[in-house]
Structure 1
Amino acid sequence: MTLNGQTQELQRIIDQQLISTLLQPIVDCQERSVLGYEVLSRGPSDSPLHAAPALFQAGEQCDQVISLERACLKQAGHTCNRYGVSRLIFVNMSPELLLPSSFSEDSLQALLTMNDLKPDQIVIELSERYPVDNSEVLKARLIALKKTGFRVAIDDLGTGYSGLKRWSEIQPDFVKIDRHFIRDVDRDLVKKEFVRSVINLCERLGCRLIAEGVETLAELTLLRSMGIHLIQGFLFGRPNPFPAADLSALGDSMPVSGDPLAAGAGYLGRYIAPLSPNTSLGHAWQILQSSPSIFALPVVENDRPLGLLHKWCVMEVFSSKYGRSLNQAKPVDSLTARDALVVEHDEPLEGVSQSLLEDDLYYLKQHFIVTRDGRYMGLGSTRSLLRTMTQRRVEQAKHANPLSQLPGNVPVQREAMRRLQQNEAFTCIYFDIDHFKPFNDVMGYSEGDEVILSLARQLCAVFDGDTDWVGHIGGDDFVVYSSKLELQNRCEQVQKLFKLETLSRYPEALRKARSMTAEDRDGKLKRFPLVALSAGIVVAGSRSFGSAADLAATAADAKAKAKKSTDGIHIVRGECVAEGSVPAQVIVFNAGSPL
């Protein structure tokens, strides 16, 4: 097709509004629901510009990128409105369309929100494939859009120009890994390590990760075991002219956890295609020889694991005289080790380690089978387990508070991000000791340390549920997270314990006076009440906060109000920090005087 013919055809498509919109689902595997749809544009079916690459390449060659993208966005909005799409809508935009030279911010927002679409429903996908001439202007435009409720995603991570620099500057809500790194990730160690590194960065930067191009159950299983739960690909649905998704691939045997510092055995489960007990040893040997990194194959019947076929065992039998010819037709069941350790996907790694050590005093197994509800899910290696546990202990020691040995500031922020990303309601409690400086000055710093250690023990004893988490920010500041939303009684319990313990540390004269004299921060003598314990409790809804920093700011404000409270309990309704989200309930609690 000549350039002139291409220009005429493209202009016809734009003028006559012949763009068609297709929708591809993005699935949240944890929620077993559709998170949103990416809108994809195509030309007319009878046009040489029907395919997306041909259409947008023509836009670039004919200098019609802006006009083409405007037409695509208009049709996308019309399609989503016609089908009543209530989920997130992911729209692809080139950086050029976002620059002021294209059109004003108001007109850009109007284009995106036409057809009754709301800003918090739209995710702007910015592809890494296109270079950016003015990154500062682009950054400012995206930040402005985010403040009005729009969300931002970086598309095609790993393929383009700016990479991590743009990621850190824009602070996107979502990052999409390019399908090149997802294809056959279950069989490619290099791709797997790349994905793992991106997961770690997402956890640190507080954004959600989407895997593109997932087409096989093996890829899905591996990704979910690594902790990626937002999936896009043919496995859940091809692009369609209407919203649709096939969730049948979400079987009960799928792993659900993936944080190497918090997850269970499912994180280490690598999906390896299992053998049936009737598979011949000769066929199993071919698989083992073609996969040098695999040293054992799971033997499974009706989704239930029977044991492991070890590579060394087959080698031993086949290496004897006539061993291969005599045994290759036999079923693998004849050499299957039935003593394999089988653990559920949510079994804590410490429990898996203990089971391995207690299983045999003289032989440490190299592998264990991971299941969900008794059904085969993957195979874990003892080496990976030891490496992960070592990493966990190093991380815990590196970021632990030196006095209490509880998780410090970095793990506190990481835990906040993890809970926010789960999109489930939870409670954050910020504990602080009132008048602690005068106590230190009068009673001595060693006594002050004992009070802090005592409070740490009290918090761990009271908040000891499965979903409770206690951290020590520093000094006399502690944070508790819990999935429980009604925690006032437990706060009162901590108050009683704190009152009894601290009161016994004062001399009798100070207990009777109910106060002490100490220097204030200006060096002047002043009467201070005895120590008390305040707590700001933030009950966060499923989408109350845009980031861990937002949550921390609200908790700090709640704590400050608690320290000024005089009537014991004060409840306020706090404004939500994140645009367009549900207001958080902030409960401010103060113990008052310990006497």
Structure 2
Amino acid sequence: MTSGDQARELQRIIDGQLVTTLFQPIVDCQRRIVVGYEVLTRGPSDSPLHAAPALFQAGEQCGQVEALERVCLHQAGRTCLRNGMNQPVFVNVSPGLLLPENLSEQRLEDLLTAHGIRPTEVVIELSERYPVVDADALKTSLLSLKKRGFQIAIDDLGSGYSGLKLWHEIQPDYVKVDRHFISDIHKDLVKKEFVRSVVNLCERLGCKLIAEGVETEAELSLLRSMGINLIQGFLVGRPNPFPAAVLDAIGPAFERPRHERVINAGLLSQPIEPLSPNNTLGDAWRRLQTEPSIFALPVVDTGRPVGLLHKWRVMEVFSSTYGRALNEKKSVTTLMAHDALVVGRDESLEAVSQSLLEDDLYYLKQHFVVTENDLYLGLGSTRTLLKMMTRQRVDRARHANPLSQLPGNVMIQQESEWRLQHARPFSCVYFDINHFKPFNDVLGYSLGDELILSLAQHLTDAFCAPTDWVGHIGGDDFVVFSCSQHVVEICREVQARFEAEARSRYPANIRDARKVTAVDRDGALKEFPLISLSAGIVHVDNESELSISGLASISTEAKGKAKLKADRLHVTRLNQSGISENLAFANKLAGSA
């Protein structure tokens, strides 16, 4: 297509408003709900400009980006109205369209809300792919739109121009990580660290993170292990002419057993009745006098926390000469702390503790505000946080393996019981290091301990999904529980990585000989193969009537069979028809014990 043909085709599309709106879902994996839809645009199906990249590239080349975007927004509004949309819509807008000389804020609001969509239901996505010509004017427009009720998202973070600078200046509600950093993230350390740094920034700056381009279960598992629950991609829904999502792709909600349930900030929250900016300092003083156990009062405006009024501050002012007379009719906002730490209900104790430590280098805040969906939930105290963290660590240490600090036998038994009681298929994997004793005897116990710690790290890195659990039975024996459909592939990957690392620890002469001479259990010198790793896998379906001891026995049997195989991996499948034979074997073992 020549440039002239392209310009004419683009003009035909703009004049005839010949664009189509598609919807792609944004899903909260934790709650298994759709939280919104991004509206995407396509050209006519019979046009060379059908695909979005071709369409918008033509708009750039012909200087028609703003005109094209107006048509796209108008069509998106009509399509949302036709489909009865009742969820937030994410719309892409280029920086140029937001500049006053191209479109005033009022005209942009009219364009976005012309079909009955309220500003609070619109998230404006500002792509990092486009250069920002006038950063100050753009910042002014975005802040004005936020005041009108629109939410702002930085799209394609990491793909181009000024995402981090904009992030700092406009404080977006959402940040969307470019799909480049999500694709095969479970295989790329650099991508992991980049996304992890973005997660930390989002937690500190109070904005939500959306991972774009999620296409595989492996990517989803890793993202969820990093605390990312908002995702968008083919795994949960391709762009469609109507709003739809594939929630089955993320599996059913998985609740941890009671002994492993995460204690979060919500459990620290005390539902203290807040003040409003309309309350006076006199109102606050009377509350503090009648409720002596309260040392801080949150100040909340239309459900959102705006500050914290500390008891000591009120007492300090009111105890001065004429202090009460001069100040009791003033608003509580005159003395409240505007820098109160605000944390989400689902934040872990560790995350809250880290926020407190990083918030102020010289002063440790004694209270923090807890929110749910950005609305006030209650007030937490640092004292309670520290007590609960100490108790949690003592409980963990009591039942943890002293070397690896992974859950030990008591917690393994509790996890086994919980898994067997819940009607959901899972896999139990028994890992055992082969020929570990000769390695220990020849190279020393210190290197032996390092090798065990190395295996613990490989297992926790590989089995990192919310449905995964890793325990340390003792010595060189580990157990893993997982609901992944790819558990065999993950086990083979762990075997390959661990064995490569283990063999690199031998001296060169032993590696070259591929064997080591050591004393066997009978006291005789013998040649042994180098270190390897066996994995006995037991697949348990939701119909298997199995006891804890039965599962332990069958897993031990599977591990024994794995040791005899060339690939050191054996799979046992338990189901309604085959369970009796395995239970008979388990009962036989139990009877001979």
Question: Normalised by the size of structure 1, how large is the TM-score?
Answer: 0.48
Question: Normalised by the size of structure 2, how large is the TM-score?
Answer: 0.48
